[in-house]
Amino acid sequence: MAAKDDPVVIKKYANRRLYNTGTSTYVTLEDLAEMVKRDEHFVVQDAKTGDDITHPVLTQIIFELENKDGANMLPVPFLRQLIAFYGDQMQAVVPSFLEQSMVAFAREQERFREQMKTVIGKPFDLGNVPTPIKALEEQTRRNVEMFQNAMRMFTPFPPGGTAHSGSPDEPETSAEKPAAKPDELQQLKEQIAAMQRKIDSM
């Protein structure tokens, strides 16, 4: 019997049916979505092989939710950008960036909710709207800063094998510029600049 803090095991059978071993009942993707909303931790296993298939099942839940009328949360530009990162050298960084962004947003969501309640209860004018919007924008800017810091880990070191010892904001001298993969570095800078422009236009 699973310990209290252990995740609930969901078994997925060949007929695509999902079985909750905690409640000994069959469940649907909608049931799993509700478990996520209640912060109930679970893992999904292939009933035959025992393989962990939580990721594809959660992805399937998002697909189902996105196909419901009026339930879309993922904007087309975001989806295009996300698809573009697959196979790109930035792919290894994106999951951590998205995860930390969502963690930060979840941490601030109660404050955002209270601010939105305050705005909704007042007449619509420009003086009422900026407070929650600016809070979201500030959070987004912090996320981009985190993303840019992560990019520095992927900057090749100079030929001598040591990292640039000055401030990250200081320009590099000609002797300190990395000699390897200049095209890749330029591509990284362009991607970061494009993301910054999108945020500035919010």
Q: Are 6 and 43 in contact (CB under 8 A)?
A: no
Tell whether the model's pLDDT for residue 69 goes beyond 80: no
Q: Are 19 and 27 in contact (CB under 8 A)?
A: yes
Of 51 and 113, more confident: 51
Per-residue pLDDT of 126-143, as tens digits, reads 444 445 556 666 666 666
Residue 113 CA to residue 120 CA, distance in Å, equals 10
Per-residue pLDDT of 88-110, as tens digits, reads 888 888 888 888 888 887 887 77
Parallel/antiparallel/unpaired status of strands 42-46 and 8-12? parallel
Phi, psi for 52 (deg, rounded to 5): -80, 115
